[in-house]
Amino acid sequence: MKFSTDALLSFKRAFRFLGASCAVRPLPLLLLLLLPLLLLPLLSARPAVPSRADLVIINGAEPESLDPAIITGQADGRVVRALFEGLTRINPTNAAPEPGLAHRWEISPDGTTYTFHLRTNAAWSTGQPITAEDVVYSWIRVLDPNTAADYAGQLFFLKNGEEFNSGRIKDPAQVGVRALDAHTVRAELTGPTPFFLDLCAFPTLAVAPKFAIEKHGDRWVVMPPMPVSGAYELVEWRLQDRIRVRRNPRYWDAANVHSSVVDFLSMDSPMTAINLYLTGRADIIWDKSLVPGQLMDALRRRPDCHTFDYLGTLFYRYNVTRKPFDDVRVRRALALAVDKRRIVEKITRGGERVAAHFTPRGMPVYDPPAGLDYDPDQARKLLAQAGFPGGKGFPVFQYLFNTGKTDEQISVEIQAMWQRELGIRMELRQAEWKVYLVALRALDYDVGRSSWVGDYNDPNTFLDMFMSNNGNNRTGWKSTRYDELVREGNRQTDPRLREKFLREAETLLVRDELPIVPLYFYAGIHFYDSARIEGIHPNLIDEHPVYAIRKKRGSEPVSSNR
């Protein structure tokens, strides 16, 4: 049985009460068996919603959370973007930032001060007004080290943002964000940041409800009703099943929210995903990993298969705090022994391109540097120089990856390559998404599968994540030189000079020190029937606001017989 969020909490409270009673007198077995039936009224107490959603989206892995400050996954972000909004939001046609909770802003001539003016009709779904103080609270909360936000680095562009996050400054009032009045927010930056408006549209900088967080603490996202600032409000979250949202009538742009009720299906089985889609029980498949690789050749010929370029890279990380991966010769040897072309031609087969650098091409005024090619002979020489000739004495290690058929196949392929070319033995360690993320954050791994999709159309979205204090680094690698290069690049107003610094930083990352090894660039693939679905527009960051998507009137579901 699947429970809605508030019913599940009530169940837990009831179970704890009954369990405590057992300490005095054993609870009859019959009562335990009947307990779910006794709780059925709780399940029916919610407001009535349609049995079928207007739009059903196969979204990917079960979200880690719905808290904008702590999510990191793309699947999590799709839901959170529907529930919470920032000062700007993503334009559904070109993914450029446009007015969100702020209806206008001014930028100082030197590009370091932004003054945002909030909409006077902006309100929480529970009725309270959204104010400038809510924005300040939300951003400071992300930077607060106690929040442990992996994306806190997105606010390091604020004056004293990094210093507050690291604990070097204790007073949040010294951070460069303040409320000038109830509807005006001023942000002071460390330097010109041309992508700052893009950052303001990202979920990490979304406005979160101070009153709910202070009342419920970390449990605020599961205490109904959850106050939201976005186009949709949460109806229910059924673990390992779906998240249902419905149009938020208090959203400032509610008149242009096209689908009233939307289901986000949580799933990691490609065969289940494609079956649901082909039988008309789902309208959209967002994630290419949820398409069976062995069927890709045939599926790509379908008219409802939409391909596009976007900013996404699959790579693996080394935990450089563990031996022998603290030796750059070992890291380089393993990188040179991976035949990336075989991976994209044999396994993924979706038009992916082999990656020698980390940042994809296509971003303005940036040509990424070349990294390493496939060279198993050089790999064996380096491994011998590191003290492991023919792989002798190399310890057995583990490769961490999340659940998913394609990731499993890639892991097996890399395992075979390293055994064949280097004579080393690797064990596979597969983990459910949340467990996998916890292990990466805790550096509880040797080598780990990873991916990154750009948050905005600028190389910084790929490069700043490996700065020493960035929560998304997760390698244990720290380079003062790398940090200096990225910071210096982002201070430049001359695009070509900025490119020079960033290229030097990326060279350290993918050729000189190698805490990561890029494998391939993603090829974007969505499945939806454009004769039935409208409002989806391909873009480089693969973001598609749900409020703009709807079914066309009188449309028929997709059929496997088509």
The model carries a pTM of: 0.81
Residue 509: DSSP 8-state? I
Run of H or E including 322: none
- Looking at the DSSP bridge assignments, the partners of residue 243 are 237, 264
Q: How far apart are the first and last CA of the chain?
A: 34
Residue 225: asked if its preceding bond is cis (omega within 30°), the reply is: yes
Rounded to the nearest 5 degrees, what angle is found at the Cα of 86, between the Cα atoms of 80 and 92?
70
Strand order in the sheet with 113-118: 102-107, 113-118, 184-188, 177-181
The predicted structure's pLDDT at residue 524 = 87
Q: Give the pLDDT of residue 50.
A: 54
Looking at residue 349, its pLDDT comes to 85
- CA gap 357, 367 in Å, rounded: 10
- Exposed/middle/buried for 292, CB within 10 Å: 0-12, 13-18, 19+? middle
Question: What distances in angstroms separate CA 102 from CA 120, 426, 432, one per listed residue?
Answer: 9, 51, 38
Mean pLDDT, consecutive 10-residue stretches, the chain (562 aa), reads 37 34 36 38 42 92 94 93 98 95 97 97 98 98 96 96 96 98 98 94 97 96 96 96 97 97 94 94 89 86 91 97 98 98 92 95 92 97 98 98 90 98 98 94 97 93 95 96 95 92 98 97 93 94 95 64 36
Q: Which amino acid makes up residue 395?
A: P
Burial class (CB in 10 A: 0-12, 13-18, 19+), 219: exposed
Q: Is the CB of residue 377 less than 8 Å from the CB of residue 333?
A: no
